[in-house]
Structure 1
């Protein structure tokens, strides 16, 4: 599948600032960047680097004065997915787990799985395997937590979301990750561009590790799972924040677009997967 993604961010600067942007798409074994361009309206120092053992791409921009600044990124990206039958999934217990998945068993800043262990056991402890847990957690959040723009902030955690029963995609993903980890299922956070997401914005979903692959779930059900273009992956939003700022600028405008370049895009959703007893991985 081929997508054209773009993000257009405008700021008012109020003195010296340093920005760390995570808006560039990630090249993986199954996601290929065909072309890309990053534009800044100011002649300012810019450098790119990777973090999390080369997993994520960041752009650092340093400004010294006041005024307006625009940052715009555009890319054409080819993505791949893999669909598996649920019956074919074979999970390892923590004692035999792939070492790369082990860090995603532990609590993190926004996903306090240690504080939610009893709630997770009460709600999902009866489920027999990692797929059932991830699917059950995702469905429960969709049914029990209200999606409400502006209801949370950058300090909101999984514990807050469970207590308040409202949030946005970031909060839905954090709660799902915390619940899965509390039941010994490795889970991680994914930020992405998302085709057919309405309203358009950056999106967040979660993945769980089963066997040899990371399978993706979206508790918001706001976009097709085969329309996701990976930007970054981490323990939670602290690892993959779209923009981390040191300074005092104001975000004035944000426009995010993800369009399919293929002639006929056929959405794969939670419902189509459930009907076929399947699960999907972003490669």
Structure 2
């Protein structure tokens, strides 16, 4: 069990009437428990919340008039992510459940159909199972340089594979693409987790469907996945953006903070 206090502060100068959709709250998820949380939004807006039942993703939507806008979120979350069985096997495509099947398909940022031949050449001869996924994760870690500023919001897995550099979402996209090319369902997960470098930010990892369950992997090796406070889960980055914005504005501040604690029997420090 791990206990983390997480916080996000986002500030904008809004130039025209704008609609916002934020995904920054800790998800309702079986492996984590929200002990307390607080959401703050500038006065003058009327937010409403929604939860995607399939993913557990939580969304905050509202319209904002021109002017300054501040959105903040704090939460204390208990995370209980079990260690995976080292003998987990891959599931034959014909036995993949209907609700998992979409995570086998190529998507905008994960062109598993394009890279299929190359991926099978690289990893197809390895014994199927969690060991093969760990092998492709290790390949990504060894051959892709973590380089902030080397990619942008529309960079795809194929482009990262070719240029050999990216950031955490690019590493996750490449892991997803490799898995799907091997007929292993995979999806992106974004959350809060503490790590040394670079400065704190939202962190992207991926999950592979093995042995009838989802297993987390972090190709960057920057943080232990069993401590990740999950925010969003989806097919690729377009499903888990922390902010989707319809309008003209300038971001003036973005801070993400994570503080890990030893588990302790105490009352929540944040009010719901």
For the Cα contact (< 8 Å) 2:189–2:234, is it kept in 1?
yes
Alpha-carbon deviations, 1:51-84, whole Å to 9, x = none? Answer: 363531111121122x211110001111111113
2:163 aligned with 1:164: yes
Q: Provide closer, same or farther for how the CA distance between residues 108 and 33 of structure 1 changes in structure 2, counting only shifts above 3 A.
A: same
Structure 1 position 211, deviation (Å):
1.3
Give the secondary-structure state (helix, strand or coil) at the position aligned to 1:156: coil
Give the secondary-structure state (helix, strand or coil) at the position aligned to 1:20: strand
Give the secondary-structure state (helix, strand or coil) at the position aligned to 2:113: coil
Aligned residue for 1:275? none
CA distance in 1, matches of 2:60, 2:97: 30
- For structure 2, the 5+ residue unaligned runs are 265-272
Aligned residue for 1:105? 104
Return 47-56 or 159-168, whichever deviates more. 47-56
Aligned residue for 1:26? 27
Aligned residue for 1:119? 118
What is the Cα-based RMSD across aligned positions, in Å? Answer: 1.5
Aligned residue for 2:222? 222
Structure 1 position 226, deviation (Å):
2.1
Give the secondary-structure state (helix, strand or coil) at the position aligned to 2:20: strand
Give the secondary-structure state (helix, strand or coil) at the position aligned to 1:177: helix
CA distance in 2, matches of 1:5, 1:113: 34
Aligned residue for 1:68? 68
Alpha-carbon deviations, 1:253-282, whole Å to 9, x = none? Answer: 111111112169xxxxxxxxxxxxxxxxxx
Aligned residue for 2:270? none
For the Cα contact (< 8 Å) 1:47–1:59, is it kept in 2?
yes
Aligned length: 262
Aligned residue for 1:244? 244
Aligned residue for 1:139? 138
Aligned residue for 2:47? 46
Give the secondary-structure state (helix, strand or coil) at the position aligned to 2:114: coil
CA distance in 1, matches of 2:139, 2:63: 43
Return 7-16 or 190-199, whichever deviates more. 190-199
For the Cα contact (< 8 Å) 1:196–1:227, is it kept in 2?
no
- TM-score by structure 1 length? 0.89
- For structure 1, the 5+ residue unaligned runs are 265-283
Aligned residue for 1:5? 6
Aligned residue for 2:268? none
Give the secondary-structure state (helix, strand or coil) at the position aligned to 1:81: coil
